A and B are shown apart, each in its own frame.
Chain A
Amino acid sequence: MKRIINGIIGENPILVLLLGLCSALAVTTTFESAYIMGICVLLILTFSNITVSLIKKLVPKNVEIPVYILIISTFVTILEIILKAYIKPLYEVLGIYLPLIVVNCIVLGRAMSVASKSNIRTSIKDAIGIGLGYTFVLMIIALFREVIGNGTLTIMNNISSLTGTKIILKIELSTNLFPINILTKPAGAFLTLGFLIALFNYIKGGKKHESN
């Protein structure tokens, strides 16, 4: 349990370690693509951590990185094929950011720093913690960007072929200042993440003061 919470708060991949920003900024234009991306990373992280932890004694130290990258890219390819077959529209929305999970520093980083050194139980727990931390931050960024930037909240749209229903909430914000379109643009992504990290630092800094 402690490891999972550590992944969400103490070692949050985006807010603290600043890894995997690529996808975090790119797919957060809608709430739906954000949480799906989070789940994809969570799954890949879990499977790659399990595999790496199982074969850790067989891999010589000097070819560690190529072997791990190969394992990760195999799982990403499997996921790509599954998504393409069952949820085609989503596969197109995620585009190149799905194969880019391979070079997402989070997955390789966890394989190197945790899974290659610990047993399966710890590796799975670590993967779940880091994966959840990543998913939560993506959801927060997307929530902010979509609601304020576009005035909608997409919960199920592209995955409707799988679930059977479409849920797109319309959120009317009373003043005519909204929606602020710039938030859905790339610049909005940088801005949102910048302020989110600052807020996180501020809260953490406050806690430190109290304990002192």
Chain B
Amino acid sequence: MNLISIVTSALLTENVVLTKFLGICPFMGVSTKRRNAISMGISVMLVVTLSSIITWTLYHFLLVPTKTEYLKTVLFVLVIASLVQLLEIILKRYFKQIHDMLGLYLPLITTNCAVLGIVLLNINNDYNFIEMLTYSICSSLGFTLVIYIFSSMREKINNSDVPQPFKGHPIALITAAIMALLFSRYV
């Protein structure tokens, strides 16, 4: 039961982008084309899931026993940064096709708030291993879902006649506001 509520809240009602504002930068920057949105989404899912598993394990088996929980920010950032580097090297070496598709977006992920945010939320919410895994997969899936829908709308917005001051980011933010209303069931 608990798992089901984690799934629905992470995917829809408490979507990381629309209610927690994590990963707004790629949401605004990358989501102008559907193809880019999908690539970014897959990269984020990969990094979030892997780094969640590593950081959760490190936190519970290294930081808690040694009473150095205050080091979590530094440690998590290091884990994410090195994981991204490692993933890039591995993909480049063994999975050339995937690397060509995601190559551009992987380095950007180091400074993506969504990754560090989800990893920190796993710890703050006191999840056990299964809940942590469910939450990270569903949150990053929620991120991909929103960024995909949004990019489809932006393709249309770019072709429509928007008042000059609203061109670009303002209209995108207002569209996001309407999406946030729908996702959190206010309409």
Residues of A that sit less than 8 Å from B by CB: 18-19, 21-23, 25-26, 65-66, 69-70, 73-74, 76-77, 80-81, 95-96, 99-100, 102-105, 108, 182, 185-191, 193-195, 197-199, 201-202, 205
CB pair B117–A96 under 8 Å, yes or no, is yes
Residues A186 and B18 in contact in the complex (CB < 8 Å), given A22-B24, A81-B70, A95-B124 = yes
Other-chain residue from A74, A105, A185, A205 in contact with B184 (beta carbon distance below 8 A): A185
The smallest beta-carbon distance between A91 and chain B, in angstroms, is 12
Other-chain residue from B22, B82, B165 in contact with A22 (beta carbon distance below 8 A): B22
CB pair A187–B169 under 8 Å, yes or no, is no
CB pair A102–B180 under 8 Å, yes or no, is no
CB-defined contacts of A23 to chain B, threshold 8 Å = 21
CB pair B78–A194 under 8 Å, yes or no, is no
The smallest beta-carbon distance between B56 and chain A, in angstroms, is 15
User: Is there a chain A Cβ closer than 8 Å to B104's Cβ?
Assistant: no
Chain B window 61-75, contacts with chain A (Cβ cutoff 8 Å), 1 for yes, 0 for no: 000000000111110
CB pair B113–A22 under 8 Å, yes or no, is yes
User: Is there a chain A Cβ closer than 8 Å to B19's Cβ?
Assistant: yes
Residues A99 and B111 in contact in the complex (CB < 8 Å), given A190-B173, A190-B174 = no
CB pair B180–A187 under 8 Å, yes or no, is yes
- Sample of 24 A–B contacts (CB below 8 Å): A22-B22, A26-B20, A76-B73, A81-B70, A99-B116, A100-B117, A103-B77, A103-B112, A103-B113, A105-B111, A185-B180, A186-B19, A186-B180, A187-B18, A187-B178, A187-B181, A187-B184, A191-B174, A194-B173, A194-B174, A194-B176, A195-B174, A198-B165, A201-B167
Q: How far is the CA of A103 from the CA of B78 in the complex (A)?
A: 12
CB-defined contacts of A81 to chain B, threshold 8 Å = 70
CB pair A190–B165 under 8 Å, yes or no, is no
